[in-house]
Amino acid sequence: MVDENFDVAIIGAGPAGFSAGIYAGRSGVNSVVFDEGIGGGLAATAPIIDNYPALPGISGVELMEKMKEHADKYCKLHLSEPVSKIKKLDSGGFEVISEKETYKASAIILATGSGHRHLNVPGEGRLAGAGVSYCATCDGFFFKGKDVIVVGGGNTAFSEALFLKELGCSSVKVLHRRDELRAEEAYIENAKKAGVEILLNTVVLEVLGEQMVSGVKVKNVSTNEESVLDCGGVFIAVGVQPNNELAKMLGCSLDDAGFVQVDERMCTGVKSVFAVGDLVGGVRQVVVACSEGATAALKSLEALGRNYPY
């Protein structure tokens, strides 16, 4: 049974999805944003977002709450309603099937984002939730007074390291497998000033502990020397993997890493299907995701037989 028809169905309520909903609604398009949770995506887990224009130092949760409130003025929000399947209809358009209802839409904007990439080393899965974490904002409180390790070399890793240090962790070490960091210099300098220790050319071989994390076994890739670093927590920030199941279902082309391939207007090559945000890889920044969401929403007007204004 079809519950409701929409012009555009946006799957995913992160920065790209909310932005698409705002721009679609302001263009007079009947749109809906679905999300399996309460919205916000990985951006909501960022302790601090210091490079979003006009809002320096805002937390990810606060920024995404503001976007959600803004989007709610222009489109319907179907949060905590996962979409399990999307079918292309012979008559045109799509059938969007969620856990609650079935809907029809003339165009689809995929903003399903990405999930945390794992190290895939012994002990990681077994101790997940028992000292292994992928979100400092979510779990950092439980590690006050403890020695912790952050694995990664990008902005996320250093943002989380600084957050954990300021939260009251006894010591914070950042481990990066290469000899050069990927993070912006500002993140690195702030972390150093706060007393974060940085270990380069270091890979994790195993997460140690019985019931709880007690340390990590590491290897220096330059010297091949192995050692054990004692710690009470391991925060893993080594990148993301795209949530591309629906994109595969619709026949979108993927690159070797699984990201959806799009053109400059966020078109996937599948008629009336667009993809935005972390799902398409590239420069993974909130401001870029918002731009892509706006572009896809405006471009979708053509799929609806309306004039594209730019």
Catalytically annotated residues: 135, 138-139
CB within 8 Å of 244: residues ≥ 6 apart: 112, 252, 254, 258, 259, 260, 279
Place of tokens 């169905």: 9
Q: How far apart are CA 94 and CA 136, in angstroms?
A: 38
Q: How far apart are CA 130 and CA 196, in angstroms?
A: 23
Place of tokens 């731009």: 291
Beta-bridge mates of residue 11: 34, 110
Starting at the edge strand found earlier in the chain, the sheet holding 226-230 runs 202-208, 215-220, 226-230
User: At 98, phi and psi to the nearest 5?
Assistant: -110, 180
**Nearest partner of 19 among 58, 71, 59, judged by Cα:** 71
Q: How many CA atoms lie within 13 A of 180 on its CB side?
A: 2
CB within 8 Å of 77: residues ≥ 6 apart: 13, 21, 32, 33, 35, 39, 68, 71
Helix (H) or strand (E) holding 86: strand 83-88
User: At 136, phi and psi to the nearest 5?
Assistant: -65, -35
